[in-house]
Structure 1
């Protein structure tokens, strides 16, 4: 197989299958509460969603971590729940509680309005254009969305939970309504990612944050099939679209996810054993991950040793270094700087 031509963006090239001399690095939630400059902008913005929809402010917080650290990518500052918000569902973020949605039912499902979704999301696309114009040419710009199942769990349950029981039960009790919701989310999410790529994103990531707690049949129906359909719809419009899938908690099913969805890169959560991932994924398939965020909080020799182990474990394939979940607010800034230094050595 002929290797693609390099783009001059190390992280994007890695995602396209070109192994680098050292893994490029970015950090999930790298624009966030561990940075004092982010907290200042967040306070000025008002609500969290107001910040997501304010192009000037969202651009600023997206670029903040790249001013502090030699990261290889910027990721759009937004949230996976802008999709239900754009569809007309009530979404708000409570301090100390996280997202709260008015749960949809079989009776209210028809009130969702996909025709207005892209217009409602126009500020996000403006943000991407602003980021692109401000970003150094060697840096990769990443867009994203939540996977249909993950977004559906919040739309049905009203908020996050440890087992997503409300959505799992809804899918079993009302399969027709659930199928309509998933089809809607595949279609709108595909339009959203296509628009992000058109607005300046170099690649996109699908966050399947709730791939855990599913039996293999549910995983096939709720995760594999919708993610595959989403990737196919994006590629129908953007044939060379570079896509990362992050099926958190997929465990023994990560091999199927990588082979069947069509993504270029699979993100690994921190509970995934390194040797297992390397053994079940196709040869030369790109991986992303997977340091435990709390190892980054603790820092010191244990963090450095584990980071080196991760780099070594995936030295035989394209590897993007990242955490195995989002950075947490109590993370010391000096530990982030040291981690990036370790990876870049």
Structure 2
């Protein structure tokens, strides 16, 4: 029997909403911080399959979430494509050489770097009960490309956007390469035991509508189509953060099985505008979870009520903050698990 998250992603409208939280395995948990200090750097932890599996299951042990999300990072794909990946303390991830400075063809691919991730998935699947859905993930091509081109994150992705305008043919080649690796990567996760996968497009909100169609919707549709051919029963969740009014087009045109909704979207509007019956995921503001109290209860119930007429996986609108109190997560779970669709 599939767990409630997988059931929901496949179209079941359950009275009690299943729940998991983006970044639920991470820095807000003392057990994670202890393991991280023992293992050293973030990347070393990701590539240590035993340790990464332990991190993945930590929030399941503590909270009993209905889903476990693979502990990894969206930049594993460019690392496997041959860029050097570093996580600098206080500065975030860095990729080198930048695609702005070096031709993509000069990179020496290292697909063996994906093997540890598949091992993590397999180890986690062996530790979860049948009711806990294991979710794999990857970054969407546009978001991954922004890091590959600029070498790091930025507020408005101006260097990548300028390259896409200036030389769309060259930028398409970058997107094509990312699509190819991402299909293999997600397929490998599914073969290792992932029951659903999510595509994170963290920077999709920076694009104008026509560019959104070209660099977000079209590449995502290619990935979804390829995965459907290989794994027709595995749902793909699309999460285009910042998409705003472009969200319904993304839902209709990419072919994703479920849509993640960020905290900036009115859930009542989303329920009205998204395709009828399409499973949704989201969209509590992570800052409400940090704040706690009555505001948290009211916010969570507002999300639950807004999506009461369709399949809904309760989640945050983005990742849980590292300073979020454990007690606030416990309180949120009480609210979600105490709510029932009428």
Alpha-carbon separation, structure 1, partners of 2:198 and 2:106: 28
Alpha-carbon separation, structure 2, partners of 1:330 and 1:25: 20
Which blocks of at least 5 consecutive residues in structure 2 are unaligned?
none
Displacement over 4 Å in runs of 4+: none
CA contact (8 A) 1:17 1:285 kept: yes
CA contact (8 A) 1:11 1:320 kept: yes
CA contact (8 A) 1:70 1:340 kept: no
Structure 1 match to 2:83: 89
Structure 1 match to 2:100: 105
Matches within 5 A, 1:165-180: 165-180=158-173
CA RMSD, aligned part only?
1.0
CA contact (8 A) 2:281 2:314 kept: yes
CA contact (8 A) 1:38 1:61 kept: yes
CA contact (8 A) 2:100 2:150 kept: no
Aligned length: 337
Q: Kindly state the Cα deviation for residue 295 of structure 1 after the two structures are TM-superposed.
A: 0.4
SS at match of 1:267: strand
SS at match of 1:62: helix
Matches within 5 A, 1:42-61: 42-61=36-55
Structure 2 match to 1:280: 273
CA contact (8 A) 1:209 1:247 kept: yes
Structure 2 match to 1:316: 309
- 2:69 aligns with one of 55, 66, 75: 75
Alpha-carbon separation, structure 2, partners of 1:52 and 1:174: 35
TM-score normalized by structure 1?
0.96
CA contact (8 A) 2:18 2:313 kept: yes
Structure 2 match to 1:3: none
Which blocks of at least 5 consecutive residues in structure 1 are unaligned?
1-6
TM-score normalized by structure 2?
0.97
CA contact (8 A) 1:106 1:177 kept: no
Alpha-carbon separation, structure 1, partners of 2:5 and 2:234: 14
Alpha-carbon separation, structure 1, partners of 2:108 and 2:9: 34
- 2:2 aligns with one of 3, 8, 23: 8
SS at match of 2:146: helix
Alpha-carbon separation, structure 2, partners of 1:54 and 1:60: 10
Q: Kindly state the Cα deviation for residue 213 of structure 1 after the two structures are TM-superposed.
A: 1.7
- 1:229 aligns with one of 214, 222, 225: 222
Alpha-carbon separation, structure 1, partners of 2:113 and 2:14: 39
Alpha-carbon separation, structure 2, partners of 1:65 and 1:97: 26
SS at match of 1:121: helix
Structure 1 match to 2:261: 268
Structure 2 match to 1:134: 127
Change (3 A) 1:212 1:263: same
Q: Kindly state the Cα deviation for residue 106 of structure 1 after the two structures are TM-superposed.
A: 6.5
Structure 1 match to 2:60: 66
